Amino acid sequence: MNLNIRTMTVFTLLVCGVVLLGCRQYNKMPPGAVVFDHTAVLLVPGADWEQLTNGPLTEVQSLCRPVLRGIGTNDGSLIQVFAAEGNKDPKTAADILEKNVKVSHSIINDTFKQEEFRSAGGVGGVHISYDYNGKSSVHMDKLKAHVYLFQNEKKNCIAINYITFADKDSARVDQMIKGTLKLN
């Protein structure tokens, strides 16, 4: 009888160990992954992005830190993640954004585009892009905005906002977002 208790104890410990190892592998984040506060949204931006957790770029309402600021080939670019107030679905949020953007005097005519997207991680939503005139610290610049709207697991509408100079707009960044975006 003593042998059966030992055998059962060892077997139970082995099963628990296998389960724990399996869970650890499942929750393992990819190298370079960034998880944004309060959203469970994960991106793997790569070496051309630095994380900002303090400063004026991080003091925006509904912003989920960190902010990613482009360096090197992405210098002058920003990626910000916002949690929309209320539980709007991505299409409703996209329609509101389109209406607000199109009445803005800074948007460049005929540049507004809207399409559905699905990331490699299975996140689906609406991708919006448009060009606009924005003021930098010195002069007016032509900028490009990309907004990726989707719901997280809590059904909150999340927006990834990628802004860059229009002449530096990169398909590589769009591919990074669509290729690495997932819910953690």
Q: What is the pLDDT of residues 39-51, one digit of tens each?
A: 999 999 999 999 9
> Is the domain of 23 the same as that of 48?
no
| pTM (global) more than 0.75 | yes
> Is the domain of 50 the same as that of 8?
no
pLDDT at 17 over 70: no
Q: What CATH number corresponds to the domain at position 160?
A: 3.40.1000
Q: How confident is the model at residue 112 (pLDDT cuts 50, 70, 90)?
A: very high
- Residue 14: what pLDDT? 43
Domain hosting 24: range is: 1-30
> Is the domain of 25 the same as that of 49?
no
pLDDT at 131 over 70: yes
pLDDT at 10 over 80: no
Q: Cis link prior to 66 (omega < 30° from 0)?
A: yes
With residue 3 as reference, give the H or E element that holds it. helix 2-27
- Closest by CA position to 149, among listed 75, 85, 83: 83
Distance CA 126, CA 89 (A): 10
> Is the domain of 26 the same as that of 57?
no
- What lies within 8 Å, CB to CB, of 167 at 6+ separation is 142
> Is the domain of 80 the same as that of 134?
yes
